[in-house]
Amino acid sequence: MSNNAGIVHSLKDGQKYMNVWPMRKELNPLFPEQRIIKATRFGIKVMPAIAAISVLTQMAFDNYDAMPQAAIMALFALSLPVQGMWWLGNRANTQLPPALAGWYRELHQKIVESGFALEPVKAQPRYKELAQILNRAFRQLDKTALERWF
């Protein structure tokens, strides 16, 4: 696989991970995902406009000498949400450290014990599997079952 295909794959994984990660205040002190997801979503909405304004402003004032700087500024603005998506894609595919892997297994077990069907527990879980389990836990387990962890 070429490096470009790896980047595209990482960006796609980042988008999926962004949609799966539960946006819950209980997770804020433990994981940076929510802050990065919010910043990335904000960047996706705002940065194209900033990029366009930086170039169009120079054109409107006939300041073509500043056009190279405006173009660099536009490219930088457009790269910010891409960087967030890339980080999320890499994070999604990162193997969990042992403590989080144990937590993943405990949550998986608790959901299964509650009578909900899940795919089998992963031997080497990654952050994307943790995100899926957390999402299911918040949706399907009652507050008393979650109190132990939060």
Residues 6+ apart with CB under 8 A from 20: 128, 131, 132, 135
Q: Residue 1: pLDDT above 60? A: no
| Maximum mean pLDDT: which of 3-12, 34-43, 116-125, 132-141 | 34-43
> How far is the C-alpha of 82 from the C-alpha of 69, rounded, in Å?
20
Q: How far, in whole angstroms, is CA 87 from its chain's centroid?
A: 7
126 phi/psi in degrees, rounded to 5: -110, 175
Phi, psi for residue 95 in degrees, rounded to 5? -65, 140
In angstroms, the Cα distances linking 31 to 28, 89, 92, 111 are 6, 15, 12, 21
Q: Is the pLDDT of residue 2 over 60?
A: no
- The pLDDT of residue 146 is above 80: no
Burial group, residue 24, by CB count within 10 angstroms (0-12, 13-18, 19+): middle
Q: What mean pLDDT is predicted for residues 27-49?
A: 97
Please report the pLDDT score of residue 141 as a whole number. 77
Which two three-digit tokens encode residue 52? 């366009």
Q: Is the pLDDT of residue 97 over 60?
A: yes
